[in-house]
A and B are shown apart, each in its own frame.
Chain A
């Protein structure tokens, strides 16, 4: 029995894998059925459970955002769409629904110019992992051409131009990836999920309320002190402290 134990364990793992997949499919079907019959709270709970089980796909977060919006929780809907968009930045459905729900939240106009907006959109349209893979592929291609350059006796014009193109391709991919990484790491964002988040002048209820943030408003997370989170509204130039439970942070 002791000798066959690894075999039985392997069998158990192999048997459990299809069961988990089956459970996930069943959960997805339940969520959709609940959504279709108008039980949006149940649908959102099922999609959240699906994500918690490891199926943290863009589609699941998109559906979760739909259910949260229909259940009247605009803040949680925006947060779910943001997570979906992070996984599939080029998905038009996600962008459409996110913009639609944002229409329910009064947002101050952005202060960034059109060029910066275009650059930001270009950088964020591709997932970071994909960008990194593209950069690696360009790097390997460049390395192969450099090796050929070293080894070959006949350095033709074709090889020279291809090598120059490979250098340009690699620099582009590396720059794009670096910009994306810097953008991801430069600022953390979150969404207000309570009806009215009171932003105070310090990390305590003792401090005076400075301004009130409506549900669904995307805020920049600046720091944390116990149960209080420092948030910033770049468009208005405001900063304040809200309760951590009032904000759902991006991953």
Chain B
């Protein structure tokens, strides 16, 4: 960069005598006017000073002074350049009643042919004085149109032909465009979206940018933001460019929406923009106008990934990728942690790289895989690496192997599925400290038997099928009634046993109760004997048995002595028990008949015996019922 300042023209004057002489001559020639204008300085800067034909040189003329500057610099005749005014800026300060101003005029010079040229001197008339800058030498190289000259501090300018010339923006002071590098892509194949802001008018405030609607895309910004100068239909524009990579997430027709930029620009009225036509203070006192700029939506056709040739392990990764893998150590002990690191690196949407299927690893206990990704954005492309780390724990000694790993992706450039692989990895596993691996993966205490070359686990797997079993339905569970009977009957049995036990105890402790229980049985036996005697015509025996049945039964029931009971006692007890007179009379008559037949033997008719037997049975039944009722009462 070269810079020359008008007030420094005498800097190279040399000896003191010449300086004094020059000062004296100036004082005589310029007089008081020179004294007023002595604080004004004019300088010019050209950047760059070495360009190609068609490139742009930025020429900045700066005027500084303590007085009000009203003039404009006058450029010399530059037939070898096309000259455009790019605006001016000013700065005023008021200190202690004195004005100090600084004014910058910017011009764009585009060389028409190659060669060495001189710009200047540039002059400025102010207060009757003319100030001028030193000439600036510029070297213009040959060749075709070169890239646009970068603005100081801006990013790298695009290559020739990279920027499409926007159409339909003639005579506009500012406009924006969005462009894409392709309109038909595969799912997850990147589309580069470029947003450009063209302006040739001063921007008065920070523009407000609303990015386009990117529904259906995974978006990655592609820094840095670039600034450069380019020509559109012969006019020079300052361009700000923002790029981003868009990855469509599904097939179909997707739309990139309109971008919007609200910008505050200098108000140049309706006459169009012509910086040379502007009075100096017009822009200074202008409040500017707000302009809303929009772009057109862009349609993108997203093709689905082909189904033919798709490998089974394909997980949706698109781009160009390579695979590498390694273990963090080559030797380990049983039970120690070893990390298997697999790196998938390349170009594409790193964050969308599908998971890596770790094959079944024999002899290892495998823990979950943890993945991380690192994205790099260089030269407008999204690159990076996705790292899968799997923690392994060897469980057996010997040489363990991680089988070859494969990874498939879709390469949109070739339109084919590609597969990358890494060879098998091996790990030498020694016995763990003070322990040896067991088949079940548990660590057993080491002992003399285990330290000897005994069983060595080579591989590990699940146990084999069960082959010997009856291929029939299993025994059915017991039905409910079995459980009900099993748990319900024992209490009933125990209840019965308890009752029987109690009954037996009472028989043993209560003779009256025992006699009562035995009374009926004894009476039946006596009646049976009587019946037998009657059938054999043994009359005395018949009546003796009949008498025994009656007296024995009644004595047992009434609690009287069987041996010593008299007829009178019986009748009295029966009367006390509530027996009726007829029954008692019948009993007394029958007992007397029995006594008579026993002690005064004689012939008796068979009908009499049968009648007396029936009468005895009737009496026994009648008295039995009576005594049961009485006992209940």
Q: Which A residues are within 8 Å of any B CB, using their own CB?
A: 21, 24-25, 27-28, 32, 35, 50, 54-57, 59-60, 62-63, 66, 69-70, 87, 93, 96-97, 99-101, 103-104, 106, 129, 132-133, 136, 139-140, 143-144, 146-147, 150-151, 214
Contact = CB atoms under 8 A, between A and B. Distances in A.
A69 B462 contact: yes
B498 interface: yes
B368 A106 contact: yes
A100 B462 contact: yes
Contacts of A140: 486, 490
A24 B472 contact: yes
8 contacts: A21-B471, A24-B471, A25-B471, A100-B461, A103-B365, A140-B490, A143-B490, A150-B494
Nearest to B461: A100
Given A24-B471, A97-B462, A147 B483 contact: no
A150 B501 contact: yes
B276 interface: no
Contact of B472 (A21, A132, A147): A21
Contacts of B454: none
B467 interface: yes
B486 A32 contact: no
A196 B330 CA distance: 33
Q: Looking at chain A's contact residues, is the secondary structure mostly helix, strand, loop, or mixed?
A: helix
A32 B467 contact: yes
Is the contact region of chain B dominated by helix, strand, or loop, or is it mixed? loop
Given A103-B441, A143-B493, A143-B494, A96 B463 contact: yes
Nearest to B475: A129
B473 A66 contact: no
Contact of A97 (B463, B472, B498): B463
Interface string B445-488: 00000000000000011111111011111100110000100110
B94 interface: no
Contacts of A66: 462-465
Given A57-B469, A100-B462, A214-B368, A129 B477 contact: yes
B498 A150 contact: yes
A50 B478 CA distance: 23
Contact of A28 (B440, B441, B471, B501): B471
A139 B490 contact: yes
B473 A54 contact: yes
Interface residues of B, number: 33
B474 to A, nearest CB: 5
B99 interface: no
Contacts of A54: 473
B500 interface: yes
B366 interface: yes
Contacts of B501: 150-151
A186 to B, nearest CB: 21
Contacts of A143: 490-491, 493-494
B420 interface: no
Given A32-B467, A57-B469, A133-B478, A104 B366 contact: yes
Nearest to A65: B462
A57 B494 CA distance: 39
Contacts of B462: 66, 69-70, 96-97, 100-101
Given A66-B465, A96-B463, 13 more contacts: A21-B472, A66-B463, A93-B463, A96-B462, A97-B463, A99-B440, A100-B460, A129-B477, A136-B487, A139-B486, A147-B493, A150-B498, A150-B501
Nearest to A54: B473
Given A32-B465, A93-B466, A136-B486, A151 B440 contact: no
B471 A106 contact: no
Nearest to A106: B368
Interface of B: 365-368, 440-441, 460-467, 469-474, 477-478, 483, 486-487, 490-491, 493-494, 497-498, 500-501
A55 B466 CA distance: 14
Contacts of B472: 21, 24, 55
A89 B374 CA distance: 49
A59 B478 CA distance: 21
Contacts of A63: 465-466
A107 to B, nearest CB: 10
Nearest to A91: B466
The 7 A-B residue pairs with the shortest CB-CB distance in the complex, in nearest-first order: A143-B490, A59-B469, A59-B466, A150-B497, A106-B368, A97-B462, A54-B473
Nearest to B464: A66
A31 to B, nearest CB: 8
A151 B500 contact: yes
A151 B497 contact: yes
Contacts of B500: 151
Contacts of A57: 469-470, 473-474
Nearest to B466: A59
B474 A139 contact: no
Nearest to B499: A150
Contacts of A59: 466, 469
Contacts of B497: 147, 150-151
A57 B469 CA distance: 9
A57 B301 CA distance: 57
Nearest to B483: A136
Nearest to B364: A103
A68 B465 CA distance: 12
Contacts of B463: 66, 93, 96-97
Contacts of B487: 136, 139
A97 B498 CA distance: 55
B497 to A, nearest CB: 4
Given A101-B462, A150-B497, A151-B497, A96 B440 contact: yes
A87 B474 contact: yes
Nearest to B366: A104
A81 to B, nearest CB: 9
A62 B471 CA distance: 14
A134 to B, nearest CB: 12
B509 to A, nearest CB: 14
